[in-house]
């Protein structure tokens, strides 16, 4: 009995069902029900026309590799791994992929080879098609083909070709080639790299390219092994990839995402040194913000910005503290190969299959532009949240400064009133500067903060939030692609893709135009933040200065009080001392009432 979460499980046939359903002597086999449908249904969704999202690809890699490792340890070779034989189950936190149909044993004769080749046999390893001896490496080929399709949206090797020319052409590929495709002119190309567009980040794309080169080797003895790597087998290498802890940093200056693999011990300061090499922003000038506007501290761990509960990729936003002026530094976007061909060729007529793929690429390109725009908006929101946090700290310091100012003024008024008959003492107080320099600066700082607040309110209005045009263009491109996909087979005729390519060019022009407006607004936010950062230490310094002034004032008041009590002490001692020969017949000191306590004396005074 097989027992693995990623292999569909057998169930007991309910009592009585055997007699109700069986029409012959064959036994019934009950399997668990998976309500998510199969992977083919998922791949056929519009949004997966150019491959699945990165998070979904990683989940599939983890599930299917785990299932195959389990089956191979049980000495079971699946031999027919394809999207139709992977079903999806809704788990508590995510979709779970399960392998089904473990009973493939179909005899491959010439008729079955020709009739079932497209869409099914392309997942079979060459040695199975050639009826040669095989091992578990046939599952490596199928798994590699499946993963390639999930990443890009199409099978890697001439997916529309018939079996004999397909086989002959594919035999000529080099062992590291992972894709063989036909361009819009009919020319066949071989490549060792994942084609664009897809939704993988650059680091993951590079790692999976090397892994696919192992999985899609023509020679079964070499397939799945890399003698120059440790570990050398494909599943161990895939596990290393899946264990990567990736930090995605959006450079708000270049609008490019930088991806880094970090260790458990790596600090933010270590990460900043790596960012410095790629962005030319010195580590001391870098500010890394999370989505909520919280700044990463250099001594903190770099892994703190990785949220394992999310299937998407949370971003860290990179800003340059030394700059308050952001200028667009983006390079012209590289469009997919089919789109570039349509641009340069005068109204080409395409067969249905390349036409459908071109329309899908066009829609994906506009959708990617919209995603880029939304990520930049997230970065702007993070900058505003950071600004508001600092402004909140500034407001608290301002309130403390005003409160301290009022308290100090009250004490100063009391002290100066007490000393108004003592010119020397008053001059001594004036020399401390409490009533002049320190207190005059308070009103100046208050005025600066008052002038800053309208600008902070203004940047929160976000006048640059005008991405509705991208939504409209994406909707039009999606509708064109949907209608093309849903055409009946007898109506799938050649056509041109000028209209959808025109939508792509409009989207690119709009994006680049709005990007300039965006950076103008981002510069305003940076200026406000810089002003807040400059004011904050001034206000903190003023509060500290007034605390020190208060201490000086209290020291002077304490000294004055001591001097007053000393005078009282002298006066009282004179009253207590004997007075001889009093001419006025005053009472002797012995008849004077006892001296009052200081507290009672003050009350009488």
Give the mean pLDDT per block of 10 residues along the chain (605 residues).
87 73 69 88 94 94 96 89 93 90 51 45 86 90 97 93 87 94 92 94 95 95 87 90 93 91 94 94 93 91 76 81 77 84 82 92 93 90 89 85 81 70 51 58 83 83 70 92 91 88 91 86 87 87 83 80 79 68 46 42 36
pLDDT at position 454 is 84
Read off the DSSP letter of residue 487: S
pTM over 0.75: yes
DSSP assignment of 60-109: HHHHHHHHHHHHHHTT------SGGGEEEEE-SSSEEEEE----------
Dihedral of alpha carbons 134, 136, 140, 145, sign:
positive
pLDDT at position 172 is 92
Domains of the chain plus CATH, in order, are: 10-242 (1.10.510.10), 246-320 (3.10.20.90), 337-566 (1.20.1270.250)
φ/ψ of 160, rounded to 5, equals: -100, 0
**Which tokens in the block code for residue 287?**
């500010």
pLDDT at position 446 is 82
Read off the DSSP letter of residue 305: G
**Which tokens in the block code for residue 129?**
């098609």
pLDDT at position 484 is 92
pLDDT at position 449 is 85
Catalytic: 80?
yes
pLDDT at position 287 is 93
Which letter, b or e, does each residue of 133-169 get, where b requires 16 or more Cβ atoms within 10 Å of its Cβ? ebebbbbbbbbbbbbbbbbbbbbbbbbebebeebbeb
**Which of 80, 139, 199, 372 is labelled catalytic?**
80
């Amino acid at each position: 009995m097989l027992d693995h979460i990623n292999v569909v499980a057998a169930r007991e046939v309910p009592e009585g069902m055997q007699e109700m359903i069986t029409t012959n002597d064959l036994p019934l086999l009950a399997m668990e029900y998976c309500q998510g449908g199969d992977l083919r249904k998922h791949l056929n969704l519009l949004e997966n026309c150019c491959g699945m999202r990165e998070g979904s690809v990683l989940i599939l890699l983890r599930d299917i590799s785990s299932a195959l490792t389990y089956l191979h340890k049980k000495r079971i070779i699946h031999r027919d791994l394809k999207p139709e034989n992977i079903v999806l189950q809704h788990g508590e936190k995510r979709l779970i992929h399960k392998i089904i149909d473990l009973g493939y044993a179909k005899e491959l004769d010439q008729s079955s080879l020709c009739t079932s080749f497209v869409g099914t046999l392309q997942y079979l390893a060459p040695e199975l098609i050639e009826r040669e001896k095989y091992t578990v490496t046939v599952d490596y080929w199928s798994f590699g083909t499946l993963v390639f399709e999930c990443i890009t949206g199409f099978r890697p090797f001439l997916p529309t070709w018939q079996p004999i020319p397909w086989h002959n052409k594919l035999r000529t590929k080099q062992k590291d080639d992972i894709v063989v495709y036909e361009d819009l002119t009919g020319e066949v190309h071989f490549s060792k790299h994942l084609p664009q567009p897809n939704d993988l980040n650059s680091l993951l794309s590079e790692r999976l390219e090397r892994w696919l080169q192992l999985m899609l080797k023509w020679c079964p003895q070499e397939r799945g092994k890399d003698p120059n790597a440790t570990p050398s087998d494909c599943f161990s290498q895939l596990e290393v990839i899946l264990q990567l802890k990736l930090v995605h940093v959006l450079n708000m200056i270049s609008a490019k995402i930088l991806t880094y693999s970090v260790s458990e011990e790596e600090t933010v300061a270590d990460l900043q040194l790596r960012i410095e090499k790629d962005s030319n922003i010195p580590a001391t000038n870098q500010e890394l913000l999370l989505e909520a506007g919280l700044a990463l501290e250099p001594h903190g761990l770099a892994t703190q910005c990785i949220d394992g509960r999310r299937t998407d990729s949370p971003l860290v936003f990179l800003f340059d503290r030394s700059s308050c002026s952001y200028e667009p530094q983006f390079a012209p976007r590289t469009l997919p190969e089919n789109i570039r061909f349509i641009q340069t060729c005068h109204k080409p007529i395409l067969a249905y299959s390349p036409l459908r793929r071109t329309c899908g690429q066009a829609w994906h390109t506009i959708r990617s532009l919209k995603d880029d725009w939304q990520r930049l908006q997230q970065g702007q929101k993070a900058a505003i949240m950071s600004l508001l946090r600092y402004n909140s700290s500034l407001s608290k310091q301002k309130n403390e400064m005003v409160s301290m100012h009022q308290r100090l003024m009250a004490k100063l008024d009391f002290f100066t009133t007490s000393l108004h008959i003592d010119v020397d003492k008053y001059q001594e107080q004036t020399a401390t500067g409490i009533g002049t320099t320190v207190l005059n600066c308070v009103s100046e700082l208050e005025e600066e903060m008052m002038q800053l607040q309208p600008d902070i309110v203004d940047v929160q209005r976000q006048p640059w939030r005008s991405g509705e045009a991208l939504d409209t263009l994406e909707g039009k491109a999606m509708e064109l692609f949907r209608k093309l996909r849903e055409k009946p087979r007898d109506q799938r005729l050649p056509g041109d893709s000028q209209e959808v390519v025109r939508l792509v060019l409009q989207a690119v022009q709009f994006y680049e135009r709005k990007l300039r407006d965006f950076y103008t607004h981002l510069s305003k936010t940076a200026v406000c933040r810089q002003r807040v950062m400059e004011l904050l230490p001034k206000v903190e310094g003023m509060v500290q200065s007034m605390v020190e002034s208060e201490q000086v004032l209290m020291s002077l008041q304490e000294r004055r009080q001591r001097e007053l009590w000393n005078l009282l002490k002298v006066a009282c001692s004179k009253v207590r001392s004997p007075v001889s020969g009093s001419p006025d017949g005053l009472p002797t000191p012995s008849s004077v009432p006892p001296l009052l306590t200081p507290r009672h004396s003050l009350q009488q005074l």
